[in-house]
């Protein structure tokens, strides 16, 4: 039941977003672009931070493996 209610809620939200996006895309294409673009810029910046942590871990693992090989 709880899952179903959540499903309903999110479906309603999704449809509202679609309707709003269609309207906004029609009347104010640049505004719509700003909305989508800002979300994208924020998320890519966030992903860049996460990627840096992953890169660090990989580098550390590689160093550890290299030093293990050397021994």
Partner 1 sequence: MHDIHVVDLSRLQFALTALYHYLFVPLTLGMSFLLAAMETVYVTTGREIYKKITQFWSKLFLINFALGVATGLTMEFEFGTNWSFYSSFVGDIFGAPLAIEGLMAFFMESTFVGLMVFGWGRLRRGQHLAVTYLVALGSNLSALWILIANSFMQAPTGAHFNPVTMRMELTSLSDLIFSHDAQAKFVHTSIAGYVTAAIFVAGVSAWYLLKNRHTELARRSFRMAVLFGALATVGVITLGDALGFVGAQAQPTKLAAMEGLWKTEPAPMPFNLVAFPSQQEHVNRGAIQVPYVLSLLVTHSLTGSVPGFDQLEQQATARIRDGIPAVAALQTLSAKPNDADALAQFQAHEKDLGYGFLLQRYAPDVTAATDAEVADAARDAIPQVAPVFWSFRVMVVLGLAMLAYFVMAVIYTMRNRVERKRWFLKLAVWMIPVPFLANEAGWLVAELGRQPWTVYGMLPTWMSASTHSVGYMAFSLIGFVTLYTVFIAIEMYLMVRTIRRGPDDDHAGVIPHDRLHADRLAGYAEG
Contacts of 32 (CB under 8 A, 6+ apart): 21, 24, 25
Q: Give the long-range contacts of residues 39-47, CB within 8 A, separation 24 or more.
A: none
CB of residue 71 to partner 1, shortest distance in Å: 26
Q: What is the rounded CA–CA span in Å between residue 63 and residue 59? A: 6
Q: Is 17 in the site for partner 1 (CB under 8 A)?
A: no
Q: Is 28 in the site for partner 1 (CB under 8 A)?
A: yes
Find the part of the chain contacting partner 1 (CB under 8 A) among 6-14, 23-31, 60-68.
23-31
CB of residue 11 to partner 1, shortest distance in Å: 22
Pure H helices in the chain: 2-27, 29-70
Q: What residue ranges bind partner 1 (CB under 8 A)?
A: 27-31, 33-34, 37-38, 40-46, 48-53, 55-56, 59
């Amino acid at each position: 039941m709880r899952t179903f209610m959540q499903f309903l809620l999110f479906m309603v939200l999704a449809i509202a977003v679609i309707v709003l996006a269609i309207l906004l895309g029609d009347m104010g294409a640049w505004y719509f672009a700003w909305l989508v673009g800002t979300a994208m810029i924020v998320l890519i910046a966030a992903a860049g931070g996460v990627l840096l942590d992953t890169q660090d871990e990989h580098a550390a693992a590689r160093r550890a493996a290299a030093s293990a090989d050397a021994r």
